[in-house]
Chains A and B, each alone.
Chain A
Amino acid sequence: MSTAAIRALPRETLVNAVLALALLAAPLIAQMLDEPFYVSLATRVAILALAGVGLNLALGYGGMVSFGHAAFFGLGGYVAGITALHAFEGSDFMTWPWSVGGSDQLLVVWSVAAVVVALVALAIGAISLRTSGVYFIMITLAFAQMIYYLAISLPTYGGEDGLSIYLRNQLPLGDSNDPLTFFFVCYGLLLAALFLSARLVAAPFGVALQCARMNETRLATSGIAPFPVKLTAFVISAVITGIAGALFADLNGFVGPSMLSWHRSGEIMIFVILGGVGRLFAPLAGAALFILLESLIGGMTDRWQLFLGIMLLAVVLFARGGLIGLLAGKVRHD
């Protein structure tokens, strides 16, 4: 592309491209400098951003303020942990009516995670979406807490202590144990989810979803029932966050109830809000900022969350467009 062609692009596209390239460059440079810690840090950013991309679809575009997305994140993680456990032990997940064993294949883990999370999200969404506003926030939180306590009460799968994944789940090609390879996998999935979101949002489905956020009356009057649109978006949103959870468990080699806790729901929400609600790349900007703050200021003082709080307050009060809004200006709507 010529410089003129690049200048003609919307500023937000440029900001997004810079963010994506920066996240790609960070682990490559870290690898060259022999700093494996930063490779894993970049992988964390990619995975948490992916979780945020999921939430952004529901919260940013659909106006569904879910305070329960940790349920989907954690479920994805537990699917990875449980399938790996059974594969490691050679035991069965269930024996009746069929015998179902474990698996150590990432593609299998992701598919199972997607199906499990979709079913749970369908149930949670079908009930929660009958409410709105504060009630919706509270009911999604309540469902997530139920799943949290369920996980704690299952001794087979570690209960409060969680589950270790002794062998990272495998890829058909490449070695997922190689940190850089695993980063590329997570980064690829992040880009895929961003691309999917961009298509969804511009398609008739996304236009209807955004109208549901602005004015449900208008949507219904146009002949489109809002509920199925919102429920579908909620399920897609949950599945993306669930896949991120499966990756997170494999990155850490561990899954525990903390992945399901309401702190985690809040964190994912913070990525989206810091980055800029309803902006495509907000979750990446927000997750990167969050992890940077955590590792830079968190290294100096335990009170780094205070700085986070101040930034969050500033965004909510003065910069609704978040980080992306500051860098790229106001949202452009068709």
Chain B
Amino acid sequence: MTEALLELKGLSKAFGALKASDAVDLTLMPGEIHALIGPNGAGKSTLIAQVAGWLHSDAGEVHLLGRNVSHWSVAARAGLGLGRSFQVSSLASEFSALGNVLLALQAREGGAFRFWSPLRGNARLRDEAMAVLARVGLEDRAELPVASLSHGERRLLEVALALAIQPKLLLLDEPMAGLGPEGTRNLTAFLRGLKEEAAILLVEHDMDAVFALADRISVLVYGRVIASGPPEEIRQSAAVREAYLGDSLC
């Protein structure tokens, strides 16, 4: 049996009386895209934050590459190979696109405790950063400050940054949001080509993209996984339809 890259065991988080995630069990296998869908406020972003280490869980465990990382810091989990993109872009706003990628590369290159040689002077690292940007088609925008990139370009840069740490798995929180039809199509094709390199836990509202990409879908409602299975099964499930998908998809 292959080992899960990510395994959540009974993960819970409450904000006051609100159970944002409620005893969630979930796995992500190598080479897989596992989509997490659910209505707004279902707790998807909360769950992602628990997995990445931003939120302390009230109960449950996060296992990453077979290790219990429940009490690890965000940086340590990233160091193990967990890449992530945010629902709302989170970039180093005064740096250029290239500067952002260089920063992401430097963790792997020996970390922040190197005090003397300029980061920019490392030609090999720079080439690598340009290659990462080229993967998402941003190589021509490398030197622009991220503040002057378009919304769509910033979304792509987020994906590039997640890739730059050479992740074994990716948490993508609504990567298609605000991309428009063409952007969504392009990113869908790109993610499909990516899954052998890094398994993906994909939170996404665009159902066409989800059904085109996912090997497995879990449906989250009020913090609980109400259904989990292959796309066809989810499409057919009466409970899911009632809770979330609506009649338009039938």
Point out residues on A near B: beta carbons under 8 Å: 199-200, 202-205, 207-211, 214-215, 217-226, 228-229, 232, 331, 333-334
Contacts of A217 in B (CB 8 A): 54, 86, 90
Q: 10 tightest CB-CB pairs across the interface, nearest first?
A: A223-B107, A208-B112, A223-B78, A225-B75, A202-B118, A220-B74, A222-B104, A223-B79, A204-B114, A214-B92
Contact between chains at B95 and A334 (CB < 8 Å): yes
Contact with A along B76-117 (1 / 0, CB 8 A): 101100001010001111111011101110111111111111
Contact residues, B97-146 vs A (CB, 8 A): 98-100, 102-104, 106-120, 145
- Note all chain B residues with C-beta closer than 8 A to A225: 73-76
User: Would you give the shortest CB distance from B159 to chain A, in whole angstroms?
Assistant: 13
Please list 5 pairs of residues, one from A and one from B, whose beta carbons are closer than 8 Å in the complex, sorted by A's number: A203-B114, A211-B95, A217-B54, A225-B75, A331-B94
Task: Tell whether, in the assembled complex, residue A222 and residue B113 are in contact, meaning their CB atoms are under 8 Å apart.
Answer: no
* B145 with A220: CB separation less than 8 A: no
Chain B interface residue bracket vs A: 35 or more
Please pick, from A208, A331, A334, the residue contacting B98 in the complex, using a CB distance under 8 A: A334
Judging by beta carbons under 8 Å apart, are B99 and A222 in contact? Answer: no
Q: Which of A200, A203, A215 contacts B92 (CB 8 A)?
A: A215
The residue among B79, B118, B120, B145 with the most chain A CB atoms within 10 A of its own CB is B118
In the complex, what residues of B have CB within 8 A of residue A199's CB?
115-116, 118
Task: Kindly state whether residue B52 has any CB partner on chain A within 8 Å.
Answer: yes
Query: A211 to chain B: which residues have CB within 8 Å?
Result: 92, 95, 103
Min CB distance A93 to B, Å, is: 32
Main DSSP-derived SS at the A contact region? helix
Report which residue of A200, A205, A334 has the largest number of chain B beta carbons within 10 angstroms of its beta carbon: A334
* CB atoms of A204 and B106 under 8 A apart: yes
Taking CB atoms, residues of chain A closer than 8 Å to B36 are: none
CA distance A192 to B121 in the complex (A): 21
CA distance A199 to B78 in the complex (A): 27
Contact at B99–A334, with CB atoms within 8 Å? yes
B91 near A203: Cβ-Cβ < 8 Å: no
- A232 vs B112: C-alpha distance when bound (angstroms): 11
B113–A333 contact, CB under 8 A? Answer: no
- When C-beta atoms are compared, the residue in chain A nearest to B80 turns out to be A223
* Nearest chain B CB to A130 CB, angstrom units: 14
Residues in A with CB closer than 8 Å to B52 are 221
A207 to B116, CA, bound (A): 12
CB distance from B214 to the nearest CB of A (A): 24
Per the bound structure, the CA–CA distance linking A220 and B165 in Å amounts to: 12
Does B161 count as interface, using CB distance less than 8 angstroms? yes
In the bound complex, residues from chain A placing their C-beta under 8 Å from that of B145 are: 333
B84 touches A221 (CB 8 A): yes
A334 touches B120 (CB 8 A): yes
- Nearest B residue (CB) for A229: B112
**Residues A202 and B119 in contact, CB atoms below 8 Å apart:** yes
Most B CB within 10 A of own CB, among A203, A204, A228, A334: A204
Residue of A nearest to B167 (CB): A223
Establish whether residues A214 and B90, one from each chain, have CB atoms under 8 Å apart when the complex forms: no
Which residue on chain A has the smallest CB distance to residue B106? A204
7 additional A-B pairs beyond A202-B120, A221-B52, beta carbons within 8 Å, are: A202-B119, A204-B119, A207-B106, A211-B103, A218-B90, A219-B92, A220-B73
Chain B hits for A331, CB < 8 A = 94
Question: Closest CB of chain A to B157's CB: distance in Å?
Answer: 11
Chain B residues near A214 (CB-CB < 8 A): 92-95
The reply to whether B106 and A208 contact each other, CB–CB distance below 8 Å, is yes
Contact of A223 among B75, B95, B100, B102 (CB under 8 A): B75
A208 to B91, CA, bound (A): 13
Q: Which residues of B contact A203 (CB under 8 A)?
A: 114-119
Distance of A272 from chain B, by nearest CB (Å): 18
Chain B residues in 8 Å Cβ range of A224: 75, 103, 106-107, 111-112
Contact mask B193-206 → A, CB, 8 Å, 1/0? 00000000000000
Bound-complex Cα distance A204 to B115 (A): 7
Contact (Cβ within 8 A) A333 B91: no
For A208, the closest partner residue in chain B by CB is: B112
Known: A207-B106, A208-B106, A211-B92. A218 touches B115 (CB 8 A): no
Complex CA gap A228/B110 in Å reads: 15
Contact yes or no, A220 B75, CB < 8 A: yes
Residues on the A chain within 8 Å of B115, using CB: 199-200, 203, 205
Complex contacts, B76 vs chain A, CB 8 Å = 225
Residues from chain A with a CB closer than 8 A to the CB of B102 are: 207
